[in-house]
Amino acid sequence: MSAISVGQAVVLGVVEGVTEFLPVSSTGHLKITEGLMGIPVDDKSVVAFSAVIQVGAIAAVLVYFFKDIVRIMSAWFRGLANREERYHHDYKFAWWVIFATIPIVVVGLAAKPFIEGPLGSLWVVAGSLIAGSVVMWCADQMGRHKRGEDDTSFRDAMLVGSSQILALLFPGFSRSGATMSTALILDLDRVAATRLSFFLGLPALTGAGIYELKDALGASVGAVPLAVGTVVSFVVAYASIAWLLKFVAKHSFNAFVVYRILIGLLLFGLLGTGVLSN
């Protein structure tokens, strides 16, 4: 029998789609939801399921930013063949995304036993939610929001890309939260920080989903729930991306900071009272 039913897959797909690109920690929300539904959070195939349905959210980014991605990739291919094209910002940006993905891949493979073991604790998730909120609030206050997307550099990409490691090691910190906070500290404006977070997350999240597919299709999770969760996450994530870009154009990240703290405290409470088991 599958550890995740089709109905549960729908719920998890919605949670993944809503939270993957909001700076609130999709991993944290998935773990909380799985715990409340009685799904074995530490089951290897369940952990893999969470990684694979991210591909649906990633597909939403590919569709939403299709023109931008085609423009960047076209510039990259032109630059490979034509030396003069290598001065184009889009050509450089494509390489920056590739290089900025290397740190999280290396750490992810090296620390996989810890990520799936002690670092996957719900206590860690709760603490990371609150700690990440503090970082995000400080970054939003410190940042001067004066640099746009065209002002990004190789240094920006490497620092923002490497910050994804925080979310990898401390689920609950939030990949989006870590990357956006780092970008804000580097004085990028909120829209540029958000878009950079999307682009830098594409290779790592896609790779993680493909890598975990074999475990997700293991004995504990069926192909149907996996497919349903992935499709649902795609649809919901597309709407979430559109909303987020409009929101950050006019608002600070304070609403996310408050929400994360409340969820972190709630999780501590649920764990402390035994409603949720670690």
Q: What is the 3-state secondary structure (H, E, C) of the chain?
A: CCCCCHHHHHHHHHHHHHHCCCCCCHHHHHHHHHHHCCCCCCCHHHHHHHHHCHHHHHHHHHHHCHHHHHHHHHHHHHHHHCHHHHHCHHHHHHHHHHHHHHHHHHHHHHCHHHHCCHHHCHHHHHHHHHHHHHHHHHHHHHCCCCECHHHCCHHHHHHHHHCHHHHHHCCCCCHHHHHHHHHHHCCECHHHHHHHHHHHHHHHHHHHHHHHHHHHCCCCCCHHHHHHHHHHHHHHHHHHHHHHHHHHCCCCCHHHHHHHHHHHHHHHHHHHCCCCCC
Greater pLDDT, 94 or 220: 94
- At residue 8 the predicted structure's pLDDT band, cuts being 50, 70 and 90, is very high
Average pLDDT over residues 161-171: 91
In this prediction, residue 216 carries a pLDDT of 63
pLDDT at 219 over 60: no
Lowest mean pLDDT among 188-202, 210-224, 241-255, 259-273: 210-224
Percent of the chain residues topping a pLDDT of 90: 59
Sorting pLDDT into bands at 50, 70 and 90, what band is 156?
Answer: very high
Enter the pTM of the model. 0.87
Over residues 40-68, the mean pLDDT reads 85
pLDDT given at position 218: 60
In tens, the pLDDT along 238-258 reads 999 999 999 999 999 999 999
